Amino acid sequence: MPEGDSIYRAARTLQRALAGRTVTRFESVFPHLTRIDQDQPLRGRVVERVESRGKHLLLWLSGGLVLRTHMRMHGSWHLYRPGERWQRPRHEMRIAIATDAFEAIAFSVPVAEFLKATDVDRQRDLHDLGPDPLSDAFDNAEAVRRIAGRGDMEIADALLDQRAIAGIGNIWKSETLFACGVNPFTRVASLEPDTIAALVAAAARLLRASVNEETGRVPLSVYRRAGEPCRRCRRAISMRKQGENVRSTYWCDGCQPPRP
């Protein structure tokens, strides 16, 4: 599943290509989107801005209409010049938004809806989101408070809870815990407040480094390195499925030992 940094980069790319341009064509396989287009045509509207919120991508259009998409596991947005050959087959196309200069194509996106601009902050998934480390308004203390309130959860699962802190997935969950030397199966209730604060700070630092255009993605220490030697202690990296959603967790037993 694309994580917050991937969605942020996609939104940034779409923003640069589409913002200020007029929609010349809209197409979708989703009937609930085409009905809106029939009643309130997108053609002629101006793309005002594109932004990310956690793992959600929001495309704001003139006239108070907002397209919200969520990629889930396999969705992605692509950008093409008019007439350019698509890199994925047409049957995977879910949404197409064209301007005079670019076509934005959403492939295999399972979640999409139009919202009134006035209703965006009341949409359930967006309203319930925890603080987003990639937002200028990121509230570090609130993220710490929300994670600390999930005392019965294992810390790796708490970091994945989008209502606690937005945008973290398997990659940055595992990398954040490694960076702070915290075992992923530790219960939140057993962690000191300073440790939770350090985890939040590390997650924010890693996500921001990943979207930094000068430095690019940061090298991964544990994610998808099961069986390979830890770069710190040379012990083999471990992997185990974790939580109700059976998500992959990577860690180093030497650097992240279980708490006694």
Q: What DSSP string runs through 110-142?
A: -EEEEEEGGGGGGSHHHHT----TTSTT--HHH
Tallying the residues shown for the chain, one arrives at 260
**Active-site residue flag, 175:** no
On the 0-12 / 13-18 / 19+ scale of CB atoms within 10 A, 197 is middle
Among residues 107, 90, 19, 5, the alpha carbon closest in space to that of 55 is found at: 5
**Active-site residue flag, 55:** yes
Q: Is residue 193 within 8 Å of 149, Cβ to Cβ?
A: no
Among residues 244, 202, 247, the alpha carbon closest in space to that of 223 is found at: 247
CB atoms under 10 Å from CB of 134, counted, come to: 22
> Which one of 48, 51, 55, 154 is the catalytic residue?
55
**Active-site residue flag, 2:** yes
> Which one of 3, 48, 103, 154 is the catalytic residue?
3
Q: How far apart (Å, rounded) are the C-alpha atoms in residues 125 and 206?
A: 24
> Which one of 2, 131, 133, 184 is the catalytic residue?
2
Write out the catalytic residue numbers: 2-3, 55
